[in-house]
Structure 1
């Protein structure tokens, strides 16, 4: 989150834990002082080598989704490109390690620790004596003060997207020297390590005008191994060059060029040398893997035109051409195949490095109205799902560990991770049916005639789902917060959203709208499945009804290009629900309207999207699970809780976790909160997202970083004669 270009922060409230008919939740589920975090399911895959084996010089061209709209990570339209620039050119007091935990960054900090707890918490930062801004001024207390004042939420002239943590600060003072910074908090704040990462110079934070506009397209003053040379919107580039005033290990590369390339054009961009490193989807990963194996094999173009058009079409379809391309005339198809084969030849220069992204995909259940407003029905949905099967569907074809995510608030390897799913239980058809019966949904009940509009909507959804096939992952997933240009919002209960002044100040959050990320053609929330995967043959239960209505849920998905495997995964979930008598009809909507008009507005029953993990869940996960709060004008502030399911006790646990300075106690409180979030069944974690990165074979210390913040100064090209280490095997 904070160190991955996202901030998911808000304030929660509190109410009774479980109502009548609820499952009993063990109070100690997911808690205890023993370490249950385990280790990351997949390690980094970055071809790590010692700096001595990396050549000096060179330019790396790195694909990004778009040229950042702003270089200020604290603004609402900051995205993943903004974060990548900040990581390379600005100080971070703490960075994230390979286990997803914050560690002191020695390039900027000699030390940072809590030196007083009574009457108030005081943290003393001792800045590295060599640390200077690119204009020669030392990094010091004035920069900390300017950032606090800009982000405290007290001055509305600053257009900030997140304030969490900075609004806990009472004052900042110079210590024994300007390199010592005393930060006094107004109340205890467990996640103080999330602050001042990144740290901007006082030139950016000092005035509202400088904050709002000055750092959008340029950063004149920086303090990292690289500096911003230029933002070239015409050529879709952000050019970073070595910082001559950098005091740490010198950057190996002369330049890093962040170049905007659409997801569906990345294989071509890699092949023609436009980029050297790019996040890709499973289809392109499969293609690159095939390129490395097909040297010397025959092609359909051999034989001077003797290959029939029919055979050319069959070959084209088998190699990922779309049907329109395959149906082109023989001459055009031969030309297209020729271009493809030339690209394949060039793609042999690349490896696919893979890990698991620090984000997980969930099934979201809208609990604001309809059948899912009853927690027993939500729990029945949860008990109907075989999460192991879904994880295998997504991850096994990619050679990644196929393990479901068992926590809402952390991922395996992070300190707060523990299996909280026992609060609701695993897949159990009989238990799911018993919960539905307890909620009044019974088989064979009288069903009132549907309205024509409902019938039409249902039949349209059914038509879209007739063919359940996967192409190996052409779709991506929506991930909330990661390339985000939105904010947490509030709704008036009719689906209209607006931002409250209280939310700006209290929630102070870089907000969450699911945006296309990691998808070949822009995004769809979902998963990746092997080619040809179909939904399993189900043994559907009889339809359930209550008060003359069928138990039917609307499963909303995007309809844009590349959503084939998303459809396959949704079909698999629908088949699981069908076995217990829940009818889930898939309804496809445009990519543009998916989040705004459906997820954020509450116009869905079931949906798939992803959340980033956080090293600071007590702060960053709060808005996702905050109990919606009614306002005097009849609106409802949902923050980023798009399932609209929350309880006072979960809110209280987050409050307590954020206010303790005992790391063990904070971890226990987070695990208790997770167990209770499981019990409410507003969202069901499914699997950790795959991270696939195509990298030129001789580019080292770069690739699939997993949890860890990239170390930009160590990236570079291998010296002649040195060998690239083998990629790690997936567990």
Structure 2
């Protein structure tokens, strides 16, 4: 048995949660400074395939619409913690614990659906029945929590709803957010089909006016029956724009706000300071100089082949857009999501916990965080928890359970596992080095080495892949496309890197690689699988740096780049990798949402292995038990303590290593207020709008 280091994070000190590493950046102003009646054009990746957030193909656009048009009984605050939403709730609390847990909801007496009907117990009852998992005719993506409910009743009045649980449920605040009307949840036909393209009945500051697939728009308009503060905007138009077209869309006015990649963020920053014009001047500019200028401004490889006429036109268009982009700024924060290194523990060298722990101890996570976040001016602090982020109640830095970067300790773990330097390799020719030695030049080519000794990073938007709430990946069995039923993989289009965004000054140079390790005639070489599509530059930069860190131990990596379409489905979900990089969202309810991510794989009836969402295939009975205890306790302090203990054990098992929180970059018109990089907090759609003429935005406090 390996001696496990002291399991950190077992206390209940609330100060450990700290505060978010980066606050909101939304240009907040009072409502009386916001103009009334404007239209806001918001870029999204695609027109949502469904308006039902509980369906498997719901995406971020679906969630954004639901936030604006449907009740959410609890919202997330700036620290990612659930708080009651007074627009819908007067109160919600546990009123009984024995013999059953009972939650009493007292609804806002003004809360009505857009058809005039009061929000009430019938809507709660319909949603529970649809999502309980008892009726397979409802094609639901998740039922966590709803499956614990025993009954739902009207309270002492129409404004009260009593929810009785068959089993204690700590995360009851996660339920009924969003809440759909009984017209949607009442029948499988309405749930499965009708709610995909329209919501006839809503209850938010906005309502769905139309879904226009031809023009790639979803139009939200003010809800005339909204009882709260009237929305400042008359409409919000969600318009589908590919990521590589967003700078152009912001420049020509077809969108007002858009999530952008670091390349566009840098371009917008350059526009604010003016861009040199190579077409001006008394002398003639050569084609060679124009091509060099175009390449320096990220025009792409085609610029090197274009003739002078085409270059002249392209540069003129670019400069026109740069002038227009002076009216745009980038607001920055950190997403409620983190990027991790995943280690597949189902087979091969990484099935040995000692090898996984050695890999973990080889990593300088501070260096990796700086590589990605420092070029963007964001806090470069490694993530210390699998189950929460700084600012959330459950956050504590539990990484001490596996230990920090320590080459000697990592080497000792490998030696204990039988991996020794320079050992003989079966099949190697006389005089040939162990596999993975300097002769592996092909791997360097695959890693995209520039040959100049410098490693470039686009600074963010790393995860072509963030596991969130928006995909359909199958049955959760090894060899299948498991999603566990609660959280789903999102594949997001990404674009280009930021030229010149190098590793921060002061980053230590890579140490010389150690002699390759071998055991029983086999070299210690790990397959590092990465996506190959446009926008994967940061993942590749991080992978190169990790590979260099592992080489210091004598561990060689073979980087394998695969198509974006097959990256998750054919490699991560099916277990065809040793090392991989992808992202997970944080949750305000880790006991519910994270259990399938770290559940111990179990054999299924058909002979496969049910991994749920545990794509590293590393789990323990102790972690499962801690999750089960956390979700069943109604003592919030005890639940936090149990989550931290579970996280410490997840660290100790070294199936996944959290690296850094993902950057959030949102480009907006400078006069657009109460909109931008929201961080953890749920947006307040009724307060968004454009600044009144003559009003000024106060400078945001520095994080």
Q: Which residue in 1 is equivalent to 2:162?
A: 182
Runs of at least 5 residues in structure 2 that lack an aligned partner in the other structure:
430-434
Q: Distance in 1 between matches of 2:665 and 2:406?
A: 34
Residue 480 of structure 1 contacts residue 513 of structure 1 at CA under 8 Å; is this kept in 2? yes
- Cα distance change on mapping 1:176 and 1:483 into 2, 3 Å: closer
Deviations 1:76-131 (A, max 9, x none): 00000000000000000000000000000000000000000000000000110000
Output one character per residue of 1:223-282: Cα deviation in whole Å (capped at 9) or x when no partner: 000000000000000000000000000000000000001111111111111100000011
1:93-108 matches, cutoff 5 A: 93-108=73-88
Residue 127 (structure 2) aligns with = 147
Which of these residues, 595, 598, 620, is aligned with residue 622 of structure 1? 595
Moved more, 323-332 or 346-355: 323-332
Match of 1:406 in 2: 384
1:27-42 superposed matches below 5 A? 27=7, 29-42=9-22
- The answer (yes or no) to whether the contact 1:474–1:565 under 8 Å persists in 2 is yes
Counterparts of 1:370 and 1:404, CA distance in 2: 28
Q: Distance in 1 between matches of 2:17 and 2:688?
A: 30
In the alignment, structure 1 residue 336 sits paired with structure 2 residue 311: no
Decide whether aligned partners of structure 1 residues 487 and 559 sit closer, same or farther in structure 2, where only a CA change above 3 A counts. Answer: closer
1:486 CA drift (Å): 1.4
Per mean C-alpha deviation after superposition, the further-off stretch among 626-635 and 347-356 is 626-635
Deviation at 1:472, TM superposition (A): 2.9
What secondary structure sits across from 2:196 in the alignment? coil
CA distance, structure 2, for counterparts of residue 483 and residue 264 of structure 1? 24
Q: How far has the Cα of 1:26 moved from its partner? A: 2.1
Per the TM alignment, residue 319 of structure 1 is displaced from its structure 2 partner at its CA by: 1.1
Which of 495, 505, 512 matches 1:520? 495
Query: How far 1:485 sits from its partner (Å)?
Result: 1.6
Task: Render the CA deviation track for 1:142-175: whole Å, top value 9, x for unaligned.
Answer: 0000000000000000000000000000000001
Q: CA distance change for structure 1 residues 483 and 263 in 2, over 3 Å: closer, same or farther?
A: farther
Q: Does the CA contact (< 8 Å) of 1:416 and 1:667 recur in 2?
A: yes
Identify if the C-alpha distance between structure 1 residues 618 and 46 changes in structure 2 by more than 3 Å, giving closer, same or farther. Answer: same
Does residue 720 (structure 1) correspond to residue 698 (structure 2)? The answer is no
- How do residues 48-87 of structure 1 correspond to structure 2 at under 5 angstroms? 48-87=28-67
Quick one: distance in 1 between partners of 2:416 and 2:287? 61
Q: Is the 8 A contact 2:480 2:574 kept in 1?
A: yes
Contact 1:45-1:728 within 8 A present in 2 as well: no
| Structure 1 residue runs of 4 or more that deviate by more than 4 Å after TM superposition | 457-460, 527-530, 532-535
Matched, 1:130 2:110: yes
Query: With structure 2 as the length reference, what TM-score do the two structures score?
Result: 0.95
Distance 2:455 2:253 in 1: 33
- Alignment counterpart, residue 373 of structure 1, candidates 337, 351, 366: 351
Residue 265 (1) aligns with residue 245 (2): yes
Q: Write the deviation string for residues 349-395 of structure 1: whole angstroms up to 9, x where unpaired.
A: 00100000000000000000000000000000000000001111111
Aligned residue among 657, 661, 664 for 2:630: 657
Matched ranges for 1:577-588 at <5 A: 577-588=550-561
The CA distance in 1 between the partners of 2:261 and 2:481, in whole Å, is: 33
The alpha carbon displacement at 1:497 in A equals: 4.4
CA distance in 2, matches of 1:60, 1:338: 28
What is the alpha-carbon distance in structure 1 between the residues aligned to residue 396 and residue 415 of structure 2? 31
Q: Deviations over 1:180-231 (max 9, x none)?
A: 0000000110000000000000000000111000100000000000000000
**Which has the higher mean CA deviation after the structures are superposed, 581-590 or 158-167?**
581-590
Report the Cα distance in structure 1 between the residues aligned to 2:621 and 2:153, rounded to whole angstroms. Answer: 37
Report how far residue 35 of structure 1 moved: 3.0
Q: CA deviation at 1:323?
A: 1.8
Rounded to whole Å, the distance in 2 between the matches of 1:361 and 1:389 is: 14
Which residue of structure 2 aligns with residue 10 of structure 1? none
Q: SS state of the match for residue 259, structure 1?
A: strand
CA distance in 1 between partners of 2:213 and 2:10 (Å): 49
Secondary structure of 2:492's aligned partner: strand
3-state SS of the aligned residue for 2:491? strand
Residues 23 and 393 (structure 1), Cα distance of their counterparts in 2 relative to 1, 3 Å cut: farther
Could you tell me how far apart the structure 2 residues matched to 1:305 and 1:323 are?
26
Tell me the CA shift for residue 178 of structure 1: 1.6
Instruction: Write the distance in 2 (CA, Å) between the matches of 1:601 and 1:711.
Output: 40
Which residue in 2 is equivalent to 1:700?
A: 673
Q: CA deviation at 1:571?
A: 0.6
Count of aligned positions? 691
Contact 1:101 1:615 survives alignment (8 Å): yes
The match for 1:88 is 68
Contact 1:120 1:185 in 2 (8 A): yes
Please give the secondary structure, in 2, of the residue aligned with 1:95.
strand
CA distance, structure 1, for counterparts of residue 694 and residue 212 of structure 2:
36
User: What's the TM-score once normalised by structure 1's chain length?
Assistant: 0.92
For residues 162 and 487 of structure 1, do their structure 2 counterparts lie closer, same or farther at Cα, with a shift above 3 Å needed? farther
